[in-house]
Structure 1
């Protein structure tokens, strides 16, 4: 990580002729790309220059992003300007659109006229990007298939099958399901309007600055049906748009797309195939959640599954695709049943739940904390296998609650993987204790001095259990309380 930051700093100096004032790592999403905000020194007027630095060792993906960006910008599409690329091709600067996404504004303001207007603006600019921007695209740069055709659709359906449906252990006729997949992919491939397909067009990839929308993360684009991107935006599970918004925004998009085409769209045919692409998109998302959650063991993706299933249930109950796929329908009915949704719904504590989870950080030099409850003890996790930030001079007087230490543990150690395993184990017991009416569970995190690793881990578990179960927490940093370094 230090080497990457140093390379970013050097590239900034080569670009600006001045040192960067600050390089801050931004939250990482599902990809392997790493993002940083670089802030330059203030000018004489007090203004500061910023850019987003991207580190990505996948050079072909970077080349695709550059090529698509150049083509889309030449057509007047609202995408970021690439400011500088290093000689290795694995770090580049791009225009900074800030931190506010369309999803952020939706969550902040709710379903009001302002947010609705931003969705309209997004769809209008999407139609322009797909049709006019797509005229300049060299599809030879596509990362996978050049076209979202039959094989790509089948791939998404199989992604859902292997990484989500098969984990449910539901008995289905495999050949009949594959036959349905074949029929559905053939049906959806026969569309007259194929243009540039963004592939991941959802509200978190739409940045809003000065009331104008800007698009990011389109390097997965390819030639495809117009409907797919519209389905991605309007049926995004986290956005959970009202049904009337989905319908009116779809009508709005059909009108906007028609303005850029040689002849207007057939609204009835477009909508019938749109419904098929909504289904494909919903299933692709579930497959991604299953892959990230079950196989890569990233707990945050599992928590999104109930919302995605309810989204799928709302769709399958009200929309028709114009093609019969009986075995597939049977599988979807099972996936959206209360039985399956309840599997993924975390048990929530309420006011009558007696359970209190006592979470401690401690120093092994002083010994493992005593459990005064009748349980006689609980979990004890040893954090000493994690690289110790206390060995570095700049962190000696800090704790696991200081930002610099947290950044170190998250970015330069195995702490995230360690905590994923901790969450898996503790979650089982917390859920069981809530069901059985137990009153106390103790979880201890120890490290050499009880100052850095154990403090960070204890805070992380407390936050996780509050968010997932709503359970009462008593958090105590034993060594730090004794030194009066931190409160609570």
Structure 2
């Protein structure tokens, strides 16, 4: 991570007229890109992005410049490094449409923002399509048969096959072929955003702005509408989906200046709903089951419930028996239960004690639960911020120390690996009614690395399992005495 920060700082030094004075690492999303919020002396902030996929960077930059020239609501690219690995753009803030939805619920304001987002989407699809160089697309230039089958195989390999449930592979591939041919017979093709969900819609000055469209290509407009309305985490009620779909069709007709065949449009729309639901399950499977990213694992049950409702309440009007059988398997109670995370309730007896300690001053914490078990993790393999003068009187609770550990050490990989281990015990203890689990983190002084790890673990357990956590920094009284 230190290399990335140095690379970003070196790039910012080449951008004239901004006088940058601070840089903060932002949480990583599903991609491998790293984002930094940078501030200048005038108090304005910008977003610096570093990505090793230069083609992806180029696509985003070229698409953004094109969309901006059309007056569309996207960020502005301010500068790009000579090698194309780092670029600077305007800051649209930290509040997404999903954030507003989760804060306000299904309010009239949220519905209004969804409608504004749909207006912006149609502009992006139609105006963005005009003169766009589709040769800039990362992979396929069009969401045609090959790209559709690729999405279906993504679902097959990264989700379906992980279930280890038998099915007729050739029959399923034949159904994929038929489904893909059906979807390619669309009446309209414009710019397709590809990942148009509320998380990629930033609310800035009560106006929706769009990010993360670098996966876009030529395709059916229904796909983006399906992505927005059927996002599992948003979990829009059915009456909202119907109203917003009708709003989209009305606005789309107005923008293209002619009526459309609504029955055909909606029939094709449900086909794109299904392909989107399957693509998302493939993505969650890859990011969660293979890359072990917890936020994607926790989204799988929501996605499965979404798919279950769809196949029980909507018909494609297409005979694909093996695909239907496979979807019934995926949405069975047994499979959904497999991915549903057990969470604590007020009656749950389990209490998880999380400690930070000093190997030199205190040694291993005494087990007072009487169980004689628990975990002890040694943080001394992580670079020690305590060796740096400015951090000696700070602790793992302080932001500069947190930033150092996250940006200059392997602490993120270390702590994520620990989460994978302790989650197994927490889930088992919750199901068996156990009362105690102890998790200890030790480092040299019990002030920086172990404190950070203990805090991160307590936060992880509370967020993921809603379990009771008792957090104790054993060496706290000696922190400011560390040398």
Q: Is contact 1:361-1:450 (8 Å) kept? A: yes
Q: Is contact 1:20-1:39 (8 Å) kept? A: yes
Q: CA offset at residue 74 of structure 1?
A: 2.2
What's the TM-score, normalizing by structure 1? 0.94
Aligned with 1:182 (options 177, 180, 203) = 177
Distance in 2 (CA, whole Å) between partners of 1:426 and 1:4 is 30
Range with bigger deviation, 205-214 or 230-239: 205-214
1:317 aligns with 2:312: yes
Distance in 2 (CA, whole Å) between partners of 1:85 and 1:431 is 46
1:475 aligns with 2:471: yes
1:356 aligns with 2:351: yes
| SS of structure 1 residue aligned to 2:475 | helix
Aligned with 1:281 (options 276, 282, 300) = 276
Q: CA offset at residue 353 of structure 1?
A: 2.3
Q: CA offset at residue 23 of structure 1?
A: 1.4
State the partner residue of 1:200: 195
Distance in 2 (CA, whole Å) between partners of 1:431 and 1:252 is 44
What's the TM-score, normalizing by structure 2? 0.95
Q: Is contact 1:72-1:136 (8 Å) kept? A: no
Q: CA offset at residue 82 of structure 1?
A: 0.9
Distance in 1 (CA, whole Å) between partners of 2:257 and 2:121 is 17
Distance in 2 (CA, whole Å) between partners of 1:214 and 1:13 is 28
State the partner residue of 1:45: none
State the partner residue of 2:456: 460
Aligned with 2:54 (options 41, 50, 59) = 59
| SS of structure 2 residue aligned to 1:359 | strand
1:117 aligns with 2:115: no
Distance in 1 (CA, whole Å) between partners of 2:354 and 2:448 is 15
Deviation by residue 1:22-61 (Cα, 9 ceiling, x = unmatched)? 212222101111111221112xxxxx33221111222211
State the partner residue of 1:69: 64
1:388 aligns with 2:384: yes
| SS of structure 1 residue aligned to 2:355 | strand
| SS of structure 2 residue aligned to 1:333 | helix
| SS of structure 1 residue aligned to 2:37 | strand
1:108 aligns with 2:79: no
- Alpha-carbon spacing, 1:40–1:116, altered in 2? closer, same or farther (3 Å): same
| SS of structure 2 residue aligned to 1:386 | coil
5+ long unaligned stretches in structure 2 = none
Structural mapping, 1:322-401, within 5 Å: 322-365=317-360, 366-401=362-397
Q: Is contact 1:389-1:405 (8 Å) kept? A: yes
Distance in 1 (CA, whole Å) between partners of 2:309 and 2:33 is 33
5+ long unaligned stretches in structure 1 = 43-47
Distance in 2 (CA, whole Å) between partners of 1:351 and 1:72 is 51
Structural mapping, 1:128-139, within 5 Å: 128-139=123-134
Q: CA offset at residue 225 of structure 1?
A: 0.7
- Alpha-carbon spacing, 1:484–1:58, altered in 2? closer, same or farther (3 Å): closer
